[in-house]
Amino acid sequence: MNYLKILNQKEKQEIENKLNNRFGVSKISGILVKKGEERLFLFGGDFDIKQIKKLEETVPIERAGVYFAKIIKGEIRLSIEGIFLFKSQINKNIFQLTEQQFEQWMSGQELNIKTEKKGFLVMKYKDDFLGCGKASAEKISNYVPKSRRLKNQNVK
């Protein structure tokens, strides 16, 4: 069974450091919970750590809090919800989309453009954050889930 792991202060600080280095996020308020090896959740409810552990002993808990990030090969990728949780703090590695790029991005396409950046970027169109992509030398990979992509209006 894949149990929840409540991160201790040192582990939480490591996540905060990764978020700060990559996106400028300096403070996480709440309890960090890890599910499996890579999925991170932020719990801001009324339960404390002891209460969560006691509850988990009684009933299986699938998750606690909001899924906000994933650790991939040591790098951190924010989920769409994570971007909205920290949008007031994000000030690094933001990629501003043009209108054409916005339409491509929201339909789930990769952006075949060269950037000076590598690694995860927060995608933004005008004042709206749209999710995370991963920049390489030749493209920005798209992580918008299929259920959140814009559907082609011309398809019947």
Per-residue model confidence as pLDDT tens digits over 133-143 = 999 988 999 98
Smallest Cα–Cα separation from 125: which of 148, 100, 96?
96
Q: What is the pLDDT of residues 23-59, one digit of tens each?
A: 999 999 998 999 888 999 999 877 777 877 777 777 7
Tell me the two tokens of residue 149.
Answer: 């992509």
Q: Among the residues of 24-125, which ranges form H helices? A: 49-58, 80-85, 99-106
Work out the pLDDT band at 126, boundaries 50, 70, 90.
very high
pLDDT at residue 24, as a whole number: 96
Q: How far apart are CA 55 and CA 52, in angstroms?
A: 5
| Residue type at position 118 | K
